[in-house]
Amino acid sequence: MKRRGLIRVLGVFLCLTVLSLSACSTVTIRDKGTQEVTSEPNYQEMKLFFVGGLFGSAKVNVSEVCKGSKPVQMRTQTRFVDGLIELVTGSLVTPRTASVWCAAKAGGAK
């Protein structure tokens, strides 16, 4: 009997783990009609939130990041590593990754 209960608990834990790690989300903001930028972002940083994302705030100063050029795409996402941290901490820490892409300046430099 104890073994059957342990197998059930492990099965439920495994299902929850797989669901947590596969539940990545992404929100991308760019001008209407523009194509998605797939190059490396000019800025990328993990931002921490707490208790399932209920507490905490994060700001990215795109003017400072792009240094005078126009931001062409912004993204916030839950990556695999973010989900793993959330799983290990039991949703006490809920990280999300913020990324910013800037328009290329004259001369081809970013």
Question: Per-residue confidence at 92, pLDDT binned at 50, 70, 90?
Answer: very high
Choice among 14-18, 55-59, 98-102 with the minimum mean pLDDT:
14-18
Per residue in 55-78, pLDDT tens? 999 999 999 999 989 999 999 999
Q: What is the mean pLDDT of residues 79-86?
A: 88
Question: Per-residue confidence at 95, pLDDT binned at 50, 70, 90?
Answer: very high
User: What pLDDT sits at residue 33?
Assistant: 85
For 16, 17, 38, 47, 57, the CA distances from 86, given in Å and listed in that order, are 12, 11, 26, 12, 16
Q: What is the mean pLDDT of residues 44-59?
A: 91
Global pTM reads 0.72
Task: Name beta bridge partners: 44.
Answer: 99
Domain ranges of the chain: 24-102
| Closest by Cα among 15, 90, 16, 92 to 49 | 92
For 29, 38, 54, 55, the CA distances from 74, given in Å and listed in that order, are 5, 12, 22, 22
Per residue in 17-46, pLDDT tens? 665 555 678 889 998 888 889 899 999 999
